[in-house]
Amino acid sequence: MVKIRQVDVTLLDKPKTRSSGNRELSPRARERLAQQRQFSRMLSRLNERDDVFEVRLDKDEKAMTIRQRLMRAAEDLGQDVVVRKSDKGWLVGLATADRRSRRGRKPNAQRES
């Protein structure tokens, strides 16, 4: 059976605030954060067309996840990069006119009417 009792109105008007504080990151979250920093450091070293890095994958990492993280890190740094598949992972370099993808629709200027 439930118990009913009358309480002070302040309990209803001012709900409890959660004092969660700063929670400690899980080991996987710390690993992702460290990897994001590593990607940012690598991308900041891309200065010229000839600078290319290879990101090798561990057996427990998913290739597309790593590619998405690389692209997100590049976007955060404001860099335009190209990520291409290699035998053991991904190749990362600055995007140039000849490296950009030609997939998709053509721009309006090039399209014939």
Q: What is the pLDDT along the chain (113 residues), one digit of tens a residue?
A: 777 687 888 877 876 676 666 788 899 999 999 999 999 999 999 999 899 999 999 888 899 999 999 999 999 999 999 999 998 899 999 998 888 888 888 777 665 55
- Sign of the four-CA dihedral 76, 80, 84, 89: negative
Write down the pLDDT at residue 36. 95
Q: Where are the domains of the chain?
A: 31-94
Helices of type H across the chain: 10-13, 27-44, 63-77
CB atoms within 10 A of CB 92: 24
The tokens for 91 are 């190749």
Using alpha carbons, list the distances in angstroms from residue 42 to 31, 53, 58, 94. Answer: 16, 8, 18, 12
Write down the pLDDT at residue 71. 95
